[in-house]
Amino acid sequence: MVWWQCVAACAIGLAATGCGASSELGWPGDGGTGHGGSGGGAGGMSPGWFACRDVSECVLRRSQCREGCGITDLPSAMAVNRQYLTALGNELCRGMTAACPAVNCGLPTVSYVAVQCRDSRCQAVDIRQDQLSACTASSDCHLRYGTGCCEGSCAASSVPPVGVASGFEQAVCGSAGICGYSCPASPLYYPVCSLGHCAAAQ
């Protein structure tokens, strides 16, 4: 049994046994949305774990002990300097006394959460409400699969693409350089600028 195989429901359903008893953590100044701030630690976490100079130093993980089936929304995400990813996982799982049962994650779910290095700290952002998707016309937008530096599965049957603004790849890859491949244009979706943000439409 590996620790990332439990969904967030472990935190509630098995709280009595200690499975997932360490739930989501908020950060001062984040308004309960962005996680992984350097403006203050929680528990045994050091603010230095979330410090960065470039986005390539930052990674995402769930804000609960068990990683579940991936990050699908901003409240469940934490952004951390990749150098301290293991230390953060150990801290989130500190005091756990029972393992979570294996879970069938089913079909992949589209994620709109990306990682950024802003104000010298790693931050999780929802691209639908962020400058990463800001636009004034549909020509400002393009589609991609996933929010990481490299795209995820290019299969349109897996998850829908997300709409992003020009410069997205540079913003999420940083000094690591843009990934060497990109998915072909989707025959099922096209990019639009809607209410000031890029989106995928059918």
| Residue at token pair 């992949």 | 108
Residue 4 predicted with pLDDT over 60: no
Pick the range with the lowest mean pLDDT from 14-18, 95-99, 197-201: 14-18
Pick the range with the lowest mean pLDDT from 16-25, 72-81, 136-145: 16-25
Cα atoms in the 13 Å half-sphere on the side-chain side of 11 = 17
Residue 32 predicted with pLDDT over 70: no
Distance CA 171, CA 164 (A): 11
Q: CA 167, 171, 177 angle in degrees (round to 5)?
A: 95
How far CA 137 is from CA of 140, 171, 188, 202, in Å, comes to 6, 20, 20, 17
pLDDT of residue 152: 80
pLDDT in tens, 71-115: 888 998 999 999 999 999 999 988 877 766 666 777 778 889 999
Query: What's the predicted TM-score (pTM) here?
Result: 0.76
How far CA 198 is from CA of 19, 63, 95, 117, 151, in Å, comes to 39, 27, 42, 21, 17
E strand segments, 63-158: 77-81, 113-118, 121-126, 141-144
Do the Cβ atoms of 42 and 23 come closer than 8 Å? Answer: no
Q: Name which of 146, 144, 116 is nearest 131 in CA terms.
A: 116
